[in-house]
Amino acid sequence: MSAWLPISEIARLVQTGELKAVDLVEQALATISEKQDYNAIIVTLEARARERAMAIDAQPTGRLAGVPFIAKDNFLVFGADTTAASNILRGFEAPYQATAIERLEAEGAICVAKANLDAFAHGSSTENSDFMTTKNPYDTSRVPGGSSGGSAAAVMLDMAPFALGTDTGGSIRLPASYCGAVGYKPTYGLVSRSGVVAMASSTDVIGPITKTVADAALVLDVMSGRDDLDGTTIDADPAGYAELEKSLAGKKVGVIKEYMAEGVAPEVKAQIEAAIATIKAAGAAVVEVSLPSLPSALAVYYIICPAEVSSNLSRYDGQRFGHSYADATSLEESYKKSRSTGFGKEAKRRIMIGTYVLSSGYYDAYYKKAQTVRTKLINEFNEALQSVDFLLGPTAPDIAFKIGENIDDPLKMYLTDILTVAANLVGVPSISIPAGTAHDMPVGLQIMAAQRHDRQLLGFAKEVEGLLV
């Protein structure tokens, strides 16, 4: 049982005065302190959170009044350290804040802590954090998944009712799957990226990690919609996301053939098949759908993503903020040493790959070709989503792996993203919800819908969630 009431209920009780924001903040901080051995949290924002809680108790309004939450440490929260779990940003205090944080705070939510991640969100386990590895709440010898591993673990450890993550190739859904949480990746552009440390700008999205679909939908409802500070944002659904319609019976669901093929652990596959049978029994039509370009998705992703990463990380040059190599005697040396001592191994690997694929003479062979295949993938998804309402498969090919198991094999690590990257490349919404266990570890069911069909997807996922309890 969760230590927290549903988010809407918490806010209602704070509004009526039956719950006090200060007590909720203390509960969150106490849990964080009690469970610090899980390494889910990089920094707590005690003073800031307590101050906000008092202000909210004095005037308890807002749809998230008094609700504590945890932000992945790549969100800029005004006045708080923002490191992206990288040494190059150690000690960087945010001089402005993310639109997502701004909107949540405007409705009374309180950021109590910043969660661990793979540095700059590069990874699938949080092992690439320059600070520490987060432990899986189900089995501390295993990873929580990544890169939003700290956020997913924090929610499952009851540190707060919800946490924010970012999902560039699966970074919300994979840890949700590994930790047994609900992880929601909205349509690209539905939530502003302003004030969030960029990884790969064309696939980065911001979303909630929660214990229930209803909680995720409410948080999305508050954060979503066009933002003047992000030119890629789109309008939210006029009907919003908080009040979801029943949406299962009569819906047409496509099981992705390529997602149920070899490479997926049999125990995971069995759980997904069981979930599909349940969905079918509840009145949805289930068909098999093939997306022939899917096997190329991971390759495409690991060209486009490092290309954008290499570009986005250019600004960390040791000249204006963050880590700077103090003993440099020339500009050239300052650049080289600041970056080589500030970035971790994975960031350097991606900068190297990205720089290579964008280089003159290789651009056409790699970056351009990858974009061509990406367009093909988009067309296949669009076509499939014209004949079915939702696409479905596992979130990850296997359960959470052991800490250290993949750390020396980047290719194996990249393969954990194989089922999640397509949604990012295509820009469609995708959710991971718990669907049983394998070897006593959570298994995640992934459901995708067409772009801007977030409302429909959340409605469907909520009903499936009810069936799978």
Partner 1 sequence: MLKPEVRDQYTTTIGIECHVQLKTQTKLFSAVGNDAREAPANTLVSHIDFGMPGALPVLNQEALRLAVKAAFALGTEPERFSKFDRKHYFYPDLPKGYQISQYDEPIIGKGSLQITIDGEVRTIGITRAHMEEDAGKSTHPAGKDYSLVDLNRAGTPLLEIVSEPDMHSAAEAKAYARELYLRMRYADVSDANLYYGNMRFDVNVSVSKTSQLGTRSETKNLNSFRSVEKAIEYEVNRQIERLEKGEAIVQETRGWDDAKQRTFSQRSKENADDYRYMPDPDIPPVVLSEDYIAEIKAGMPVMPDVWRQRLSSLGLDTAQTETLIDAHVDFADEHYLELLEAVIDEGPLAKQLATWLVNVDVPFVREQSGERQPIERLTLYRAVAALVSANKLSSTNAKALIIDLLGAASLPANIEAFATDKGYIQESDEGAIAAIVSQVIADNPKAAEDVKAGEMKAIGFLTGQVMKLSQGKANPALAGQLIRQQLGV
Beta carbon nearer to partner 1, 299 or 335: 335
Exposure string of 342-366, with b = 16+ CB inside 10 Å and e = fewer, is: bbbebbebbbebbbbbbeeeeeeeb
Of 92, 67, 87, 66, the closest CA to residue 77 belongs to 92
- Whether the CB-CB separation of 151 and 115 falls below 8 Å is answered with yes
Rounded CA gap, 64 and 169, in Å? 29
| HEC profile of 92-144 | CECCCCCHHHHHHHHCCCEEEEEECCCHHHCCCCCCCCCCCCCCECCECCECC
Binding segment for partner 1 (CB under 8 A), chosen from 39-47, 76-84, 148-156, 433-441, is 76-84
Q: Does residue 148 carry a catalytic annotation?
A: no
Joined together, the tokens standing for residue 394 give 């596992």
Beta carbon nearer to partner 1, 320 or 440: 320
Q: What interhelical angle do 213-223 and 7-16 show, nearest 10?
A: 70
Of 421, 462, 413, the closest CA to residue 128 belongs to 413
Closest contact distance (angstroms) between CB of 193 and partner 1 is: 6
Restricting to residues 130-159, name those near partner 1 by CB under 8 A. Answer: none
Closest contact distance (angstroms) between CB of 336 and partner 1 is: 10
SS3 432: strand
375 residue type, one letter: T
Q: Does residue 462 carry a catalytic annotation?
A: no
Task: State yes or no: residue 296 binds partner 1 (CB under 8 A).
Answer: no
Rounded CA gap, 21 and 14, in Å? 7
**Residue located via tokens 């819906």:** 251
Closest contact distance (angstroms) between CB of 194 and partner 1 is: 5
Q: What interhelical angle do 46-58 and 21-34 show, nearest 10?
A: 160
Binding segment for partner 1 (CB under 8 A), chosen from 217-225, 237-245, 355-363, 452-460, is 355-363
Task: State yes or no: residue 360 binds partner 1 (CB under 8 A).
Answer: yes
Closest contact distance (angstroms) between CB of 188 and partner 1 is: 10
Residue from the set 38, 69, 367, 460 that interacts with partner 1 by CB under 8 A: 367
Closest contact distance (angstroms) between CB of 198 and partner 1 is: 7
Residue from the set 165, 180, 183, 195 that interacts with partner 1 by CB under 8 A: 195
The one catalytic residue among 86, 125, 151, 171: 171
Task: State yes or no: residue 230 binds partner 1 (CB under 8 A).
Answer: yes
Residue from the set 31, 125, 194, 432 that interacts with partner 1 by CB under 8 A: 194
Joined together, the tokens standing for residue 253 give 């669901």
Q: Does residue 311 carry a catalytic annotation?
A: no
Restricting to residues 305-334, name those near partner 1 by CB under 8 A. Answer: 307-308, 310-311, 313-317, 319-321, 331
Closest contact distance (angstroms) between CB of 365 and partner 1 is: 14
Number of residues that bind partner 1 (CB under 8 A): 44
Beta carbon nearer to partner 1, 321 or 325: 321
Closest contact distance (angstroms) between CB of 335 and partner 1 is: 6
Residues 6+ apart with CB under 8 A from 366: 303, 356, 357
The one catalytic residue among 124, 125, 129, 147: 147
Residues 6+ apart with CB under 8 A from 145: 124, 125, 126, 136, 152, 174, 175, 176, 177, 178, 179, 396, 400, 416
Peptide bond into 125 cis (omega under 30): no
Binding segment for partner 1 (CB under 8 A), chosen from 48-56, 289-297, 304-312, 430-438, is 304-312
Task: State yes or no: residue 335 binds partner 1 (CB under 8 A).
Answer: yes
Binding segment for partner 1 (CB under 8 A), chosen from 224-232, 249-257, 387-395, 406-414, is 224-232
Binding segment for partner 1 (CB under 8 A), chosen from 218-226, 229-237, 285-293, 439-447, is 229-237
Task: State yes or no: residue 461 binds partner 1 (CB under 8 A).
Answer: no
Task: State yes or no: residue 359 binds partner 1 (CB under 8 A).
Answer: yes
Give the CA distances from residue 363 to residues 113, 356, 378, in Å, rounded to whole numbers and listed in that order: 41, 8, 21
Closest contact distance (angstroms) between CB of 140 and partner 1 is: 31
Residues 78-107: x where in contact with partner 1 by CB under 8 A, - otherwise, as a string = ----x-x----x--x--xx-x---------
Task: State yes or no: residue 211 binds partner 1 (CB under 8 A).
Answer: no
Closest contact distance (angstroms) between CB of 429 and partner 1 is: 19
Residues 6+ apart with CB under 8 A from 437: 180, 271, 399, 443
What is the side-by-side order of every strand in the sheet holding 252-256? Answer: 41-44, 110-115, 68-72, 162-167, 205-210, 182-185, 430-438, 441-448, 390-394, 252-256, 285-289
First CA to last CA distance, the chain: 12
Rounded CA gap, 115 and 70, in Å? 7
Catalytic amino acids? 72, 147, 171
Please give the residue ranges that form the binding site for partner 1 (CB under 8 A): 74-76, 82, 84, 89, 92, 95-96, 98, 193-198, 200-202, 228-232, 307-308, 310-311, 313-317, 319-321, 331, 335, 355, 358-360, 363, 367
